[in-house]
A and B are shown apart, each in its own frame.
Chain A
Amino acid sequence: MSDSAAEQKGMASKAHAEVHSDEEATLEGKSYRLKIFRGDAEGGKEVEYEIEAIEGMVVLDAVLKIQAEQANDLAVRWNCKAAHCGSCSAEINGRPKLLCKTRVEEYEGQEIRVHPIRAFPVIKDLVSDVSWNYGVSAQIQPFTTSEQAPFTMYEEDVERLYEPKKCIECFMCQDVCHVLRTHHKHPEFAGPRFFVRSQWLEMHPKDEGNRLQFLKEGRGGVQLCNITKCCSEVCPVGIHITDNSIIPLKERVADEYYDPAKWLMRKIRGRRNGSSNGNGGTRSTHARAGIRTNG
Chain B
Amino acid sequence: MDANGHANGSSPHEVREHDVLIIGAGGAGLRAAVAATERGLSVGVVTKSLLGKAHTVMAEGGIAASLGNVDPADGWQTHFKDTLKSGKFINNWRMAELFSKEAPDRVYELEQWGALFNRTAEGKISQRPFGAHTYRRLCHVGDRTGLELIRTMQEKVLATDTQVYMETAVTKLFKNSEGRVVGALAYTRETGKFIHFKTKAVVLATGGWGRIYKVTSNSWEGTGDGAVLAYDAGAELVDMEMVQFHPTGMVWPPGVRGLLVTEGVRGEGGLLRNSKGERYMERYDKERMELSSRDVVARANYTEVQEGRGSPHGGVFLDITHLGYRGIMKKLPTMHEQFLKLADIDISKEPMEVFPTIHYTMGGVKVDPETCATNVPGLFAAGEVAGGLHGANRLGGNSLSDLLVFGRRAGMGAAEYVKSNGYSTEIREEELNAEKKRVMAPLEKREGENPYKIQQELQETMMEHANLMRNEDSLKEGLGKVLALKDRLPNIGVGGSTLFNPGWHTAQDVRHLIQISEIIIRCALERTERRGAQWRLDYDGPDEELGRVNLISKKDQQGEVGIEKREIPPMPEHLAKLFEEGE
Question: Which 9 pairs, one residue from A and one from B, show the smallest C-beta to C-beta distance?
Answer: A56-B253, A295-B191, A72-B503, A73-B496, A143-B114, A68-B452, A9-B277, A61-B255, A149-B112
B220 CB within 8 Å of chain A: yes
B456 touches A85 (CB 8 A): no
B343 touches A288 (CB 8 A): no
> CB-defined interface of A127-166 with B at 8 Å, one 1/0 digit per residue?
1011100100110001101001111111101100110011
In the complex, how many angstroms separate the beta carbon of A42 from the nearest chain B beta carbon? 10
Determine, out of B161-169, B236-244, B399-407, the stretch whose residues face the partner at the interface. Answer: B161-169
Most buried by A among B255, B275, B317, B450: B255
Known A-B contacts: A15-B252, A80-B57, A152-B123. Give 8 more (CB < 8 A): A57-B255, A67-B503, A72-B503, A80-B55, A123-B499, A149-B111, A200-B116, A293-B50
CA distance A143 to B168 in the complex (A): 28
A17 CB within 8 Å of chain B: yes
In the complex, how many angstroms separate the beta carbon of A125 from the nearest chain B beta carbon? 7
Which label, helix, strand, loop or mixed, suits the secondary structure of the A interface?
Answer: loop
CA distance A22 to B54 in the complex (A): 29
A290 CB within 8 Å of chain B: yes
> CB-defined interface of B144-185 with A at 8 Å, one 1/0 digit per residue?
101110010001111111111111100000000000000000
Report B-chain residues with C-beta under 8 Å of the C-beta of A165. 116, 141, 148, 151
> CB-defined interface of B338-360 with A at 8 Å, one 1/0 digit per residue?
10011111000011010000000
A153 touches B123 (CB 8 A): yes
A72 touches B108 (CB 8 A): no
Report B-chain residues with C-beta under 8 Å of the C-beta of A57. 253-255
Interface set, chain A 258-295, CB cutoff 8 A to B = 285, 287-295
Which label, helix, strand, loop or mixed, suits the secondary structure of the B interface?
Answer: loop
Report A-chain residues with C-beta under 8 Å of the C-beta of B496. 72-73
Partner among B113, B142, B165, B252 whose Cβ is within 8 Å of the Cβ of A143: B113
Report A-chain residues with C-beta under 8 Å of the C-beta of B486. none
Report B-chain residues with C-beta under 8 Å of the C-beta of A137. 155, 158
12 contacts between A and B (CB under 8 A): A2-B275, A6-B277, A56-B255, A72-B503, A73-B495, A73-B496, A84-B144, A84-B334, A145-B112, A152-B122, A289-B161, A295-B193
Determine, out of B289-297, B308-316, B372-380, B467-475, the stretch whose residues face the partner at the interface. Answer: B308-316
B166 touches A293 (CB 8 A): yes
Partner among B119, B156, B334, B344 whose Cβ is within 8 Å of the Cβ of A15: B344
Interface set, chain A 36-95, CB cutoff 8 A to B = 40, 54-58, 60-61, 67-69, 72-87
B116 touches A162 (CB 8 A): yes
Report A-chain residues with C-beta under 8 Å of the C-beta of B166. 131, 134, 291-293
A13 touches B191 (CB 8 A): no
Partner among B114, B118, B312, B453 whose Cβ is within 8 Å of the Cβ of A142: B114
In the complex, how many angstroms separate the beta carbon of B11 from the nearest chain A beta carbon? 12
CA distance A157 to B158 in the complex (A): 27
B residues near A (Cβ < 8 Å) are 49-55, 57-58, 67, 108-109, 111-114, 116, 118-119, 121-125, 141-142, 144, 146-148, 151, 155-168, 188, 190-193, 219-221, 252-257, 259-260, 273, 275-277, 308-314, 317, 334, 337-338, 341-345, 350-351, 353, 450-453, 456, 494-497, 499-504, 506
A142 touches B164 (CB 8 A): no
Report A-chain residues with C-beta under 8 Å of the C-beta of B50. 77, 87, 130, 134, 293
Report B-chain residues with C-beta under 8 Å of the C-beta of A207. 114
In the complex, how many angstroms separate the beta carbon of A55 from the nearest chain B beta carbon? 5
Report A-chain residues with C-beta under 8 Å of the C-beta of B277. 5-6, 8-9, 11
CA distance A162 to B140 in the complex (A): 12
Report B-chain residues with C-beta under 8 Å of the C-beta of A68. 450, 452-453, 456
Report A-chain residues with C-beta under 8 Å of the C-beta of B49. 77, 79, 87
CA distance A84 to B494 in the complex (A): 31
Interface set, chain A 1-45, CB cutoff 8 A to B = 1-3, 5-6, 8-9, 11-22, 25, 40
Across the interface, name the chain B residue whose C-beta is closest to A144.
B114
Across the interface, name the chain B residue whose C-beta is closest to A41.
B499
In the complex, how many angstroms separate the beta carbon of A58 from the nearest chain B beta carbon? 6
Report B-chain residues with C-beta under 8 Å of the C-beta of A181. none
CA distance A80 to B218 in the complex (A): 7
In the complex, how many angstroms separate the beta carbon of B427 from the nearest chain A beta carbon? 23
Report A-chain residues with C-beta under 8 Å of the C-beta of B453. 68
Q: Known interface pairs A1-B275, A56-B253, A79-B220. Does A166 touch B144 (Cβ–Cβ under 8 Å)?
A: yes
A230 CB within 8 Å of chain B: no
CA distance A287 to B190 in the complex (A): 23
A2 touches B163 (CB 8 A): no
B500 touches A75 (CB 8 A): yes
Report A-chain residues with C-beta under 8 Å of the C-beta of B121. 154
Across the interface, name the chain B residue whose C-beta is closest to A18.
B312
Across the interface, name the chain B residue whose C-beta is closest to A145.
B112
Partner among B54, B147, B159, B192 whose Cβ is within 8 Å of the Cβ of A289: B159
CA distance A289 to B119 in the complex (A): 32
In the complex, how many angstroms separate the beta carbon of A48 from the nearest chain B beta carbon? 18
CA distance A158 to B116 in the complex (A): 8
A161 touches B502 (CB 8 A): no
A148 touches B276 (CB 8 A): no
Report B-chain residues with C-beta under 8 Å of the C-beta of A142. 113-114, 155-156, 158-159
CA distance A260 to B396 in the complex (A): 55
For chain A, give the interface size range. 35 or more
In the complex, how many angstroms separate the beta carbon of B340 from the nearest chain A beta carbon? 11
A234 CB within 8 Å of chain B: no
In the complex, how many angstroms separate the beta carbon of B150 from the nearest chain A beta carbon? 9
In the complex, how many angstroms separate the beta carbon of A88 from the nearest chain B beta carbon? 10
CA distance A16 to B315 in the complex (A): 12
Q: Known interface pairs A73-B495, A150-B124. Does A83 touch B275 (Cβ–Cβ under 8 Å)?
A: no
A168 CB within 8 Å of chain B: yes
B506 touches A84 (CB 8 A): no
B155 touches A143 (CB 8 A): yes
B51 touches A82 (CB 8 A): no
Most buried by B among A2, A3, A149, A295: A295
A72 touches B118 (CB 8 A): no
B255 touches A289 (CB 8 A): no
Interface set, chain A 170-218, CB cutoff 8 A to B = 200-201, 204, 207
CA distance A204 to B152 in the complex (A): 14
CA distance A22 to B255 in the complex (A): 10
CA distance A84 to B168 in the complex (A): 22
In the complex, how many angstroms separate the beta carbon of A175 from the nearest chain B beta carbon? 15
A113 CB within 8 Å of chain B: no
CA distance A153 to B161 in the complex (A): 31
A293 touches B158 (CB 8 A): no
In the complex, how many angstroms separate the beta carbon of A140 from the nearest chain B beta carbon? 8
Across the interface, name the chain A residue whose C-beta is closest to B112.
A149
In the complex, how many angstroms separate the beta carbon of B18 from the nearest chain A beta carbon? 11
Report B-chain residues with C-beta under 8 Å of the C-beta of A118. none
Across the interface, name the chain B residue whose C-beta is closest to A101.
B341
In the complex, how many angstroms separate the beta carbon of B405 from the nearest chain A beta carbon? 16
Q: Known interface pairs A79-B53, A127-B500. Does A153 touch B119 (Cβ–Cβ under 8 Å)?
A: yes
B311 touches A6 (CB 8 A): yes
Q: Known interface pairs A55-B254, A85-B53. Does A74 touch B502 (Cβ–Cβ under 8 Å)?
A: yes
Most buried by A among B49, B54, B165, B502: B502
A233 CB within 8 Å of chain B: no
B275 touches A5 (CB 8 A): yes
